[in-house]
Amino acid sequence: LVVGIILVAINPYKQLPIYGDAIIHAYSGQNMGDMDPHIFAVAEEAYKQMARNNKNQSIIVSGESGAGKTVSARYTMRYFATVSKSSSNAHVEEKVLASNPITEAVGNAKTTRNDNSSRFGKYTEISFDQSYQIIGANMRTYLLEKSRVVFQSENERNYHIFYQLCASAMQPEYEHLKLGRSQENNLLFP
Binding-site residues from annotation for ATP: 63-70
What CA–CA distances, in Å, run from 184 to 97, 121, 180? 34, 31, 6
What is d(CA 103, CA 1) in angstroms, rounded to the nearest whole number?
31
What is d(CA 157, CA 153) in angstroms, rounded to the nearest whole number?
8
Contact (Cβ atoms closer than 8 angstroms) between residue 159 and residue 108: yes
Q: Where are the beta strands (DSSP E) in 26-145?
A: 108-109, 117-118, 120-128, 134-143
| Binding-site entries | 63-70
Closest CA to 97 of 116, 119, 120, 78: 78
Name, in order, each residue with C-beta under 8 angstroms of 166's C-beta and a sequence gap of 6 or more.
179, 180, 181, 182, 185, 189
CB atoms within 10 A of CB 35: 14
What CA–CA distances, in Å, run from 117 to 5, 103, 110, 152? 27, 12, 6, 14
